[in-house]
Amino acid sequence: MSALRIALLLVLTGAAAPVFAEQITCESQQERNQVCTTLQPGSSVQMVQQLSRAPCIEGSSWGADEGHIWVSAGCRAVFDVRYERAAYRDEGRDERHEERRENRQYAREEHRENARMACVQQAAAGRPYGPDEIRAGDVEWIGEGQFSVHLNTPDGRVRCTVDRDGNVQSMSRR
């Protein structure tokens, strides 16, 4: 058998391919931000098909941050997620990754709680009602170090955008 045939056979059987791949469809409904999947270490993400009329622009209406794929502004697309096989052979690396993931999860929860508190305080500032009359709903990671917090206030529903340090960036009625 020729070397070319052997190489072709190895490629077709996957023995020569060091990468696993899967496709994920991620959709921003009603132009809301959506986190769609958790990425494995060593992953790379590429949009392969836009399904929405709304534009899907990397870094603006979609991205892969903090180990997740996210979409916003009505973007709906299919993403190709690839990761190296070698990344899963080193058990020590897996344990270190798990510890880092747990630390990131704790930090992420802490950031979410800071975002909730900052938005509630900002929404109550200068109002005739206090923070205890405001209900903070979902907190969504929207990328680029920012969260979106949905609030129910006595004046109505409000969307608050806040950075991971708890600085309110914007407040708007929904």
Report pLDDT digits (tens) over 136-167. 888 887 777 788 899 999 999 999 998 877 88
What's the pLDDT band for 100 if we cut at 50, 70, 90? low
Map tokens 């072709």 to a residue: 8
Pick the most confident of 12-21, 88-97, 143-152. Answer: 143-152
Mean pLDDT of the chain: 78
End-to-end CA distance of the chain: 67
Where exactly are the structural domains of the chain?
3-87, 90-173
Report the share of the chain in percent with pLDDT over 70: 73
Average pLDDT estimate for 93-111: 62
How many CA atoms does the CB half-sphere of 151 hold within 13 Å?
30
Name the CATH topology of 90-173: Nuclear Transport Factor 2; Chain: A, (3.10.450)
Report the share of the chain in percent with pLDDT over 90: 24
